[in-house]
């Protein structure tokens, strides 16, 4: 299954291994904190580490699935919605 959804930035980390995909994700997040990021990775650790990192850094993993070109996986990561602001 491939994933759909809007994104602002693509990070292609296929071919790199743990912890490089997460470092790339954290760097991009620091540069563009409001951006939704499509991260492509084929490191087996990424499947666990992306959701765990998102929980640690208050990001949201919106979707995960196979990359559109069939090589590796795709992860769609967005800033957390600030629920307090929503209430205001």
- Would residue 54 show up in a list of annotated catalytic residues for this protein? no
Stretch that binds other proteins, among 1-9, 12-20, 59-67, 72-80 (CB under 8 A): 12-20
- The answer to whether residue 20 forms part of the interface with other proteins (CB under 8 A) is yes
- The answer to whether residue 53 forms part of the interface with other proteins (CB under 8 A) is yes
**C-alpha to C-alpha distance for 1 and 9, rounded to whole angstroms:** 21
**C-alpha to C-alpha distance for 50 and 44, rounded to whole angstroms:** 11
Choosing from 9, 12, 16, 18, the catalytic residue is: 18
Query: What Å distances lie between residue 19 and 45, 66, 71, CA to CA?
Result: 8, 20, 19
- The answer to whether residue 13 forms part of the interface with other proteins (CB under 8 A) is no
């Amino acid at each position: 299954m491939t994933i759909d959804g809007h994104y602002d930035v693509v990070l292609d980390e296929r071919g790199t291994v743990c912890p490089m995909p997460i470092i790339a994700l954290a760097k991009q997040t620091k540069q563009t904190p409001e951006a939704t990021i499509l991260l492509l990775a084929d490191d087996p650790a990424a499947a666990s580490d992306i959701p765990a990192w998102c929980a640690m850094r208050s990001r949201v993993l919106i979707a995960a699935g196979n990359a559109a070109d069939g090589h590796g996986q795709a992860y769609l990561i967005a800033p957390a919605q600030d629920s307090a602001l929503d209430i205001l």
